[in-house]
Structure 1
Amino acid sequence: MNQGRRRSCDRSALVRCVLVVCLAGAGLMASGACRRETARPQSQVSFRIGMGLGGTSLQSGLPVLINMLFADSLIAVGWNGRPTPRLAESWTWEDDGRTLRLFLRAGATFHDGRPVTSDEVLPVLQRALKEARNTDYFGGFAYVESVEASDDRTIVLRLSRPDAFLLNELTNTTIVASDDPNVGTGPFRIVTRVPHLEFERYGRYYRGVPAIERVEIATYESQRSAWAAMMRGEVDMVQEVARESVDFLQGSSEIETYSSLKPFYIPLVFNLRHPILGRVEARRAVTEAIDRSQIVGDAMRSHGRIADDPVWPSHWAYSTAARRYTYNPVAARLRLDAAGLPIRSAAPGQMASRFHFTCLFWSEDPQFERIALLLQRQLSDVGVDMALEPATLRNLIKRIGANDFDAYLFQVNSGRSFDWTYRYWHSPQPGIPLMQDSGYAGADAILERLRAARSDNETRTAVADLQQRFYEDAPAVFLAWQETTRAVDARFSLGDRTNLDIFANIWQWRPVEPTRRAAR
């Protein structure tokens, strides 16, 4: 896929898009086919974001979006997984990785004008540490013993052992005034939360004054409803366009699209306690039997990218030299024969096959049923009988945590660092909530090395070893990375298109001059 691509087309494509959405049952009025502009104050540059929630993982994206506007963290994670400065302008590791010293940026202020000092940041970190200890998962705070201020601009965290995940934990801790949750540190400050979210630019933002003066967030029941609002001119951006609508945007001179991978991959995860799937040769054969390019092209409508493992492929330490499986059904049949798994007569209710297993799949997203059906067909070609069982999100999560499955098909968050990979693929351990119980423990030692890594070389070596281990053990078939597309009114520019994390520089978004817009 061409990430961050820009598409261009005529108004007839937009009309077709709206008609298709209407016919699909979104319940939209036909008048939405032509994009109408809703009046806005001429004296202000305002930007309106529409977000469809719809009871999916997008629900959890709303607080993230609010924080991007309203509150900065000490450290951010770049697209390539590197920690980057925010309210902390730099940091150093001391005492063999057991002390982290953070140096706060001079000139940064809260929205009420107070400077961001150690006295203000310390209670925020202490509260985050206390909250982590009151839950069953400490995350990157697991080995933090104390947090203290050594001067007005220096915070010191002391650990019982080195932990590379601490920096990533700090990226998830936004700095908000301890005495007022509505006073943040981001490029926009909150004006009101009800009946809708409204923000105004903060003129003393330390990275630069935003060009957009006002931002509003409107929530909708679904992505389709948010898209219809954009067609009516009620919003200037749709935070995520429904997959079935993306292709109909081709050619619009009124709407820009920004597409990129998101850190969610789709695996077919095996239960290693299954009598056949517990055998590594059977898992390798299943992996060889699956044509992932067809999964991406047909089931995902080309809105994704083939995955080889659960490591974020844009991470600076990702090894492109790692071994990877290719589609080879002939090799899969030979491997199954050598493993003593010939095709046997059909059991009642099953087809003649080498072995049988049942795959749970997420039933609330049509994409997963398409993937499941295609997987079923590909595996039947090598004599493997995979039955399908739909499951709601709630039921799926319950069953994969209770070891009540043969295999499952779902989406998994990788993040841009390694803490999510650690949590998901490490065998169950005290202090970490059980995310799944597949019986896999083959990567535990490498994941611990990755968590304790103190240099680029140690990290790079551990990542390469982890990729190799996933190849050898094949605890899952890593099918694809998902793609997300955001639609933006062409009157606005979201900055450098080569930066695929467009929300990282939200303060740089600005209206496009009419002459420049006409040249697009």
Structure 2
Amino acid sequence: MTELYPSAPSAVSRRTTLRAAGGGTLLLGLGLTGCRSAVEESAAPAVADAAGPRRGGTLTVAVNSDFTPSLLFAQSNQSLQQRLIYNTLTRYDDRLEPQPELATSWEYAADGRALTLKLRTGVVFHDGRPFTADDVIFAVKNLQNPVRAAQLRATAAAVTGFEKRGDHELVLKLAHPVNNLFDLFEFMIITDPGSVEEAVAGKRLNGTGPFSLTRWSPGTGLGLKRHEKYWQPGRPYLDGVEIRVVPQADALISSLRTGQSQLSYSVPGRNLATVAGVPGLVVSEYATGGGASYLGVNTSIAPLDDKTVRQALAWAVDRERILKQVLGGYGLASATPWPKSSPAFTEAGRTHYRHDPGKARELLRSAGHTRLDLPLLHVNLPGETALAEAVQYDLQQIGVHVTLEPTDAATAQKKLISQSMPALWAMGHSFAQVQPSTLAVSAYPFNAAKNTSRFRSEEYTRIVREAWTSRATGAGANALRQRVTDTLLDEAFIIDLAIRGSVQVASRKLRGATLNKFSYLNLDDAYLAG
């Protein structure tokens, strides 16, 4: 059994081959797939200019935390730039059906233990070297390396062999069937093997993406310029991209108001109503759910090793208030991690825990407690601080007094990975927006083999593995997903609070900016209207 555990059924039939008609031309439309219809776009982004897309200009993107090269291969809140510099093999549409990117077609073997990929020709890295099957082999092996701390390492580890058929056809051989291989393909950036160590040191990022890195100024941001030999003809439209680090909410909002920045996904929820009324700005929601807010519980610390205590915490939190006050009303109050777009979503699961302080106090008393004093770590950013303060208030009402521990984003991510969290923490997680079993095999908080909460259960491990490796569809697949959900709700080692899709704040002049399922920014078709 692999050390970490992977995800759920691909929407592509295991014996179906999907071929890209027209090569790069098809992808011009697919650049928005998996995102555009998921975004409730206002008039400006949805309206095309009569004169067509405008070429040129530099887009400035405001972010609230700096690029961390050591986390290049991990999903985090610092992954926005991934798709600007690198491509992936495939990308999902809104129905979780994979579409071509560097892989143009694929076909599963009848037993589900091999997948043949045909790769795009005419693709070059920023340094001019041609993209080949060797780069895909390296990308998979790179994510198998535990040093990379990649959440989808278990899925990568299921690939046990490679058969090259020339430079642009590759067979991946699997130890056993997995149903989240296309999650891996959308997550896995294709990097240059020769410079990967320089990449994780922040010295050189050499990809095949639409932009190449010109500078990284730690604490300030990234500078990118157009890749003139990009494989999509005529793309990108933009000359360059500046990613500016603006950690303070007021300063970030000011940069958008004044036009110093034209795009951000970092405006705190409580400030969204303010920017929504600013002339020249458009607020849009990616409703498919790019992540969720949650309360994490370290089950190795008493009395949190008692699931009755954990369930009391789950009943104590007012999710609707968090949705309204912390997330600005964007998202969905939910006791489960699944967005409505997920095949694992059920209304019964979403409302399983409601705000019931009386029931929470009763459960605590039944476990022998009337007061607890616990630390609660959170990322020291405005939106995350607001979440932690809301949780702190609700827990205090049932006799659980928490001391907030503000922490920088990079340190919090490292603590998450290394299982060194305190008793409680409030953060966001991803991976529920893709194939459902990926959450329990890839996301650090939920991983059945080794999770941040230090929760271990033979039953949970067995259920997760079965959900990951099953080739069931329909009712059979739904039953497996429900068993995972039921276990998460009962054990409450991760207490989900609200689904929070990415909220885009953009200039009305900006057209065509989208996110993939892992919140990688796609600017292939983006431009600044006159």
Q: TM-score range by the shorter chain?
A: 0.7 to 0.9
CA distance in 1, matches of 2:77, 2:400: 41
8 A contact 2:64–2:266 mirrored in 1:
no
Equivalent position amino acid for 2:139 in 1: A
- Higher RCO structure, 1 or 2 (CA under 8 Å, sep 6+): 2
Structure 2 counterpart of 1:422: 441
2:124 matched to 1:124? no
Alignment of 1:311-330 (within 5 A): 311-322=338-349, 324-330=352-358
CA distance in 2, matches of 1:267, 1:183: 35
Among 166, 169, 175, the residue aligned to 1:160? 175
Among 57, 78, 82, the residue aligned to 1:46? 57
CA distance in 1, matches of 2:238, 2:357: 57
Alignment of 1:303-314 (within 5 A): 303-314=330-341
Structure 1 counterpart of 2:32: none
Among 304, 314, 323, the residue aligned to 1:296? 323
8 A contact 1:292–1:479 mirrored in 2:
yes
2:112 matched to 1:94? no
TM-score by length of structure 1 reads 0.72
2:212 matched to 1:190? yes
CA distance in 1, matches of 2:157, 2:215: 33
8 A contact 1:288–1:328 mirrored in 2:
yes
Alignment of 1:189-338 (within 5 A): 189-190=211-212, 192-193=214-215, 197-200=223-226, 202=228, 205-206=231-232, 209-210=234-235, 212-222=237-247, 224=249, 225=251, 227-243=253-269, 245-260=271-286, 263-322=290-349, 324-336=352-364
CA distance in 2, matches of 1:425, 1:404: 11
8 A contact 2:126–2:227 mirrored in 1:
no
Structure 2 counterpart of 1:409: 426
2:506 matched to 1:484? no
CA distance in 1, matches of 2:62, 2:498: 25
Q: Measured at CA, do residues 306 and 194 of structure 1 come closer, stay the same or move farther in structure 2, by a change above 3 Å? A: closer
8 A contact 2:113–2:175 mirrored in 1:
yes
Superimposed CA distance per residue, residues 231-258 of structure 1 (whole angstroms, 9 cap, x where no aligned partner): 4444433353344543222333322222
46-55 or 157-166: bigger deviation:
46-55
CA distance in 1, matches of 2:512, 2:519: 7
Superimposed CA distance per residue, residues 140-194 of structure 1 (whole angstroms, 9 cap, x where no aligned partner): 22122221222454210112222234332222333456678877544x2438447
Gap runs ≥5 in structure 2? 1-36, 45-53, 196-203
Equivalent position amino acid for 1:256 in 2: V
2:386 matched to 1:364? no
Gap runs ≥5 in structure 1? 10-42, 342-352, 514-520
Equivalent position amino acid for 2:427 in 1: F
CA distance in 1, matches of 2:322, 2:420: 26
Alignment of 1:57-76 (within 5 A): 64-76=79-91
**How many angstroms does 1:335 deviate by?**
4.7
8 A contact 1:210–1:509 mirrored in 2:
no
Superimposed CA distance per residue, residues 232-291 of structure 1 (whole angstroms, 9 cap, x where no aligned partner): 444433353344543222333322222335533222223334554333333333322322
Percent identity, aligned pairs only? 16
Q: Measured at CA, do residues 495 and 456 of structure 1 come closer, stay the same or move farther in structure 2, by a change above 3 Å? A: farther
2:492 matched to 1:474? yes
CA distance in 2, matches of 1:64, 1:194: 15
Q: Measured at CA, do residues 370 and 487 of structure 1 come closer, stay the same or move farther in structure 2, by a change above 3 Å? A: closer
8 A contact 1:201–1:212 mirrored in 2:
no
Equivalent position amino acid for 1:453 in 2: S
The secondary structure found in structure 2 opposite 1:131 is helix
Superimposed CA distance per residue, residues 80-117 of structure 1 (whole angstroms, 9 cap, x where no aligned partner): 54433222222222152211111234x6533689997x
Among 106, 123, 138, the residue aligned to 1:109? 123
Superimposed CA distance per residue, residues 21-71 of structure 1 (whole angstroms, 9 cap, x where no aligned partner): xxxxxxxxxxxxxxxxxxxxxx95324122334358899679844442343
**How many angstroms does 1:448 deviate by?**
0.9
Q: Measured at CA, do residues 7 and 251 of structure 1 come closer, stay the same or move farther in structure 2, by a change above 3 Å? A: farther
8 A contact 1:79–1:500 mirrored in 2:
no
**How many angstroms does 1:292 deviate by?**
1.1
2:153 matched to 1:142? no
Q: Measured at CA, do residues 69 and 380 of structure 1 come closer, stay the same or move farther in structure 2, by a change above 3 Å? A: closer
Equivalent position amino acid for 2:353 in 1: Y
Structure 1 counterpart of 2:10: none
CA distance in 2, matches of 1:66, 1:406: 32
Q: Measured at CA, do residues 146 and 366 of structure 1 come closer, stay the same or move farther in structure 2, by a change above 3 Å? A: same
Q: Measured at CA, do residues 148 and 320 of structure 1 come closer, stay the same or move farther in structure 2, by a change above 3 Å? A: farther
CA distance in 1, matches of 2:183, 2:129: 24
Rg larger in 1 or in 2?
A: 1
Equivalent position amino acid for 1:468 in 2: D
CA distance in 2, matches of 1:191, 1:355: 53
Q: Measured at CA, do residues 276 and 355 of structure 1 come closer, stay the same or move farther in structure 2, by a change above 3 Å? A: farther
Equivalent position amino acid for 1:135 in 2: P
The secondary structure found in structure 1 opposite 2:502 is strand
State how many pairs are aligned. 456
The secondary structure found in structure 2 opposite 1:164 is coil
Equivalent position amino acid for 2:380 in 1: E
**How many angstroms does 1:340 deviate by?**
6.0
CA distance in 2, matches of 1:112, 1:406: 45
The secondary structure found in structure 1 opposite 2:155 is helix
CA distance in 1, matches of 2:380, 2:127: 46
8 A contact 1:311–1:414 mirrored in 2:
no
Structure 2 counterpart of 1:38: none
CA distance in 2, matches of 1:170, 1:400: 22
Structure 2 counterpart of 1:36: none
Q: Measured at CA, do residues 93 and 68 of structure 1 come closer, stay the same or move farther in structure 2, by a change above 3 Å? A: same
Structure 2 counterpart of 1:12: none
CA distance in 2, matches of 1:218, 1:151: 38
8 A contact 1:357–1:387 mirrored in 2:
yes
Q: Measured at CA, do residues 204 and 93 of structure 1 come closer, stay the same or move farther in structure 2, by a change above 3 Å? A: same
8 A contact 2:294–2:426 mirrored in 1:
yes
Equivalent position amino acid for 2:401 in 1: M
Q: Measured at CA, do residues 52 and 81 of structure 1 come closer, stay the same or move farther in structure 2, by a change above 3 Å? A: same
